[in-house]
Amino acid sequence: MSHADSKVVWDGVARGYVPAEPLPIDPSLALHEAGTAEVDPVTFEVIRYALLNANVEHGQTLQRLCVSPVTMLTRDFQPSILTQRGELVFLGPYLQYFSNAQSLTVKWILEHRSADPGIAPGDMFLSNDPYVGTPHQPDTIVAAPVFTDGRLFCWVANVLHHSDIGGSVVGSFCVDAADIFTDPPAFPPFKIVEAGRLRPDMEQVFLRQSRLPNVVQMDLRAAISANTATVRKVEALIARYGADAVKTVMTRVLDAGEETFRQRLRQIPDGTWSHRLYAEASHTGDTGLYRYQLTVRKRGDELFVDNAGTDPQAGSINVTYAGLVGAFLSALTASLTPDLAGAYGGVYRLVHFDPVPGTLSCADFPAAVSPSGVFTMELLISLAGSVIAKMVACGPPELRDQALGPAQPHWYGTIIAGQLGSGAPYIAVNANNMIGALPAGSDTDGMDFGGHFWIPEGIASNVEETEQLYPMLCLFRRALPCGADGAGTWRGGRSITEAYVPWGTPGMAAALYIDDSFPKAVGPFGANPSSMGRVTIKHGVGLAERFAAGEVPQDVAALPGVEQPVDHKGPPLMLGPDSVIVWTGANNPGYGDPLARDPRDVARDTSQGWLDPAAATSVYGLVWDAEGAVDGAATAALRERRLAERLAAATPPVAGPPERAGSDVVLRPVGGELAVSLVDGRPAQWASLTGRALLGSVTDDYRSNCATRDTPVNDLALEFGTRPGRPGAAMLLREYLCPITGRRLTTELIRTGDTPVTDMLLAGEGR
């Protein structure tokens, strides 16, 4: 890493931890290194699936033993099996970016704990230190070494999210934190179990920080028990087949994953791809805008990733090196190697990170990071998904069509706290945004309510479970409509909205909520932005009278009362017995220009009641005849007028009208309207598909030869509006248009005054 030459080392103390190569391990710790045994194919598969199933059962054990809804129901955890040196062999189908956290933490333990206090059979280490490896403090790792014949054979580990581990805000998402000293406490790895015995002194140190010590204790004991059971399964496998045979399978699984990834990377031309996203409000009361950027360079069969262009660390919207790497790798493996079934360690070998330290996505100590689990990690996963989608689009169609694209940019939902009738405190982590939605692909609409690709097994609570656990009543849970948000040639998947009121309690406090003032993610190749997460809090709505009349209110806007202004990261808000809180998830981004969407698909969404007929016209240019059917000729004419209006309002390219590709020039689609011309089968120039406009060499930024149009994002459509004076007023949607047809080639959200980041460059026909 080129930045590693600075005075502050990447040690997990003053800066995020980057393991040295080779990893320095005290020689007193004997390692089992063999992995060259002859294993017949049948035995190989038996051992491979035994390891995979042991890890899956590890997750199922966690789910059964945990007591907090965020783990028991939502499954915000991850089990893994790692080699003796901390390389990932298998992770489960749960929160994907936890795998990197476990690998980093195990390597830190090997480097810093192998001599003192030592690593021995029956030990387990606990850590929630983001500068060592966890994404944020509630995500706590428990790692257990597995020994055979006195040698360290491998590791079994899990990470799970604890409901509250301290800090200035209930639930431990401290949006008001200025630094880590007002964040929840961060514990570097220490022994929580020694020689098979739980250390009650260290358990008490960890539990003492929590507002819910009994709940946290039960989940911690579940993590320890699940590790214990899995260690025994690995030991039984070693006893049956021999340590060398099991290690050989582990090694070959890693090597096979590496080779699979190499083969897929070789199908993509060398190039450079960048993307940028913006966040708002680094802490409570802040109205600033903040930039995150990722650039990926492919050279041969390796990837090089940096975050240059990201703003300096600020407030509580930071992540450390561990969070940056975990976010990128979870998006990468979901798009390029989902068929490896969690055997991603070999993939990780081919990805090299060179981050700029002291930035929002690679913060130095003592930056606050605790809210990253709902804000920054999701933003970085969405950012990584966007840049990976661009890279993969330059490869063959079979790779391009697998790319998942941008995820929801925040974790929408709430944390609500109060007291039960007994006087006992409760913290209700509303993780029902787990219902989620998936972004559109290059040839398909996004999946409505499709969850999140970075936590495949995550589920939402049933409404009845929430009402049973906490003193609140759900007025409704329903789907968001289609609209301008998420629109594209292929539209993004739809998400949900929910409304709750206090029930059987004099009140409760909303400790965490997200109300966007602008959309954070935009779809690839000309699509609209995703939804804005919204929160509405209204007081004095006359609930008792309506319930007495047999009515369950469904339209909060029509209720009487006073609406309380809500900010993106505000202070805790009190809800009385006659108050209601409504939150929305986000329709995910689409793919391609909305004016290129098949009218039959628009009509289908309208006939299902998902899309208002007027929105079909305003967003997609659809015209209806007197019988309510699509008027094909009128629709085509309206769309042509819209395209002409775009060009009339746009700034033409400085170089003037472009040359058109001749009929003999072969154009290969990249995404949406963007294509490349081919010379001897290699990319030569960027081009637009419909207009066949040549947009310059693939070694240059094609967007300099596009017509451009800027629109304040809050003025795009009602779906993107917000009250005046909020940070979103400074954000623009910039459209890059084919200068011949007016079709969108790409779009970006950009802060007023910022210089655009280069979108994509290829090595060209000479490379």
Q: Which of 568, 593, 618 is the last residue of a domain?
A: 593
Cβ partners under 8 Å of residue 214, min gap 6: none
Residues 535 and 417 in one domain: yes
Q: What is the pLDDT of residue 73?
A: 86
Q: What is the pLDDT of residue 764?
A: 58
Cβ partners under 8 Å of residue 452, min gap 6: 407, 408, 434, 436, 438, 458
Amino acid at 5: D
Residues 402 and 472 in one domain: yes
- What is d(CA 559, CA 144) in angstroms, rounded to the nearest whole number? 55
Phi, psi (deg, nearest 5) at residue 597: -70, 140
| Residue with token string 């202004």 | 565
Residues 501 and 451 in one domain: yes
The secondary structure of 632-656, three-state, reads HHHHHHHHHHHHHHHHHHCECCCCC
**Angle (deg, nearest 10), helices 213-241 and 243-265:** 100
418's enclosing H/E stretch is strand 414-419
Q: What is the pLDDT of residue 443?
A: 93
What does DSSP say about strands 302-306 and 351-353: parallel, antiparallel, or unpaired? parallel
Structure tokens at 55: 């890890």
Residues 216 and 332 in one domain: no
Residue 93: asked if its preceding bond is cis (omega within 30°), the reply is: no
Residues 241 and 381 in one domain: no
Q: What is the pLDDT of residue 34?
A: 83
Instruction: Judge whether 485 lies within some domain.
Output: yes
Cβ partners under 8 Å of residue 398, min gap 6: none
Instruction: Give me the average pLDDT of each 10-residue run along the chain (767 residues).
Output: 62 96 96 90 97 97 95 93 98 94 97 97 98 97 98 98 95 95 97 98 97 97 98 98 97 97 96 97 96 98 97 98 98 96 96 98 98 96 97 92 90 93 90 94 95 94 92 96 97 97 94 96 96 96 95 95 94 95 96 98 97 97 95 98 98 93 95 95 95 97 97 97 96 98 98 94 65
Q: What is the pLDDT of residue 697?
A: 96
DSSP-assigned beta bridge partners for residue 414: 430
- What is d(CA 175, CA 529) in angstroms, rounded to the nearest whole number? 25
The radius of gyration computed from the CA coordinates of the chain, to the nearest angstrom, equals: 26
Report whether 121 contacts 199 (CB < 8 A): no
Residues 87 and 230 in one domain: yes
Instruction: Judge whether 587 lies within some domain.
Output: yes
Residues 412 and 480 in one domain: yes
Q: Give burial (CB, 10 Å; 0-12/13-18/19+) of 589.
A: buried
Residues 411 and 560 in one domain: yes
Residues 336 and 457 in one domain: yes
Instruction: Judge whether 746 lies within some domain.
Output: no
Number of domains in the chain: 2
Prediction pTM value: 0.96
DSSP class of residue 159 equals: E
The secondary structure of 294-305, three-state, reads EEEEEECCEEEE
Largest separation between any pair of C-alpha atoms in the chain: 84
Residues 387 and 422 in one domain: yes
Instruction: Judge whether 274 lies within some domain.
Output: yes
Residues 70 and 210 in one domain: yes
Q: What is the pLDDT of residue 6?
A: 56
Domain that holds residue 301: 268-593
3-class DSSP state of 61:
helix
Instruction: Judge whether 294 lies within some domain.
Output: yes
Residues 140 and 179 in one domain: yes
| Residue with token string 């699979």 | 260
Q: Which of 226, 258, 290 is the last residue of a domain?
A: 258
Report the C-alpha dihedral over residues 590, 593, 595, 599, rounded to 10 degrees.
-50
Q: Give burial (CB, 10 Å; 0-12/13-18/19+) of 308.
A: middle
| Alpha carbon distances (Å) from 188 to 134, 330, 459 | 10, 24, 30
Instruction: Judge whether 421 lies within some domain.
Output: yes
Give the HSE-up count for residue 227: Cα atoms under 13 Å, Cβ half-sphere. 32
Instruction: Judge whether 701 lies within some domain.
Output: no
Structure tokens at 10: 């990447």
400's enclosing H/E stretch is helix 397-400
The DSSP line for 460-509 is PPPHHHHHHHSSEEEEEEEEPPPSSTT-SSBPPPP-EEEEEEE-SSS-EE
Q: Which of 233, 258, 283 is the last residue of a domain?
A: 258
Structure tokens at 210: 């929590």
Instruction: Judge whether 550 lies within some domain.
Output: yes
Q: What is the pLDDT of residue 767?
A: 36
Report whether 249 contacts 739 (CB < 8 A): no
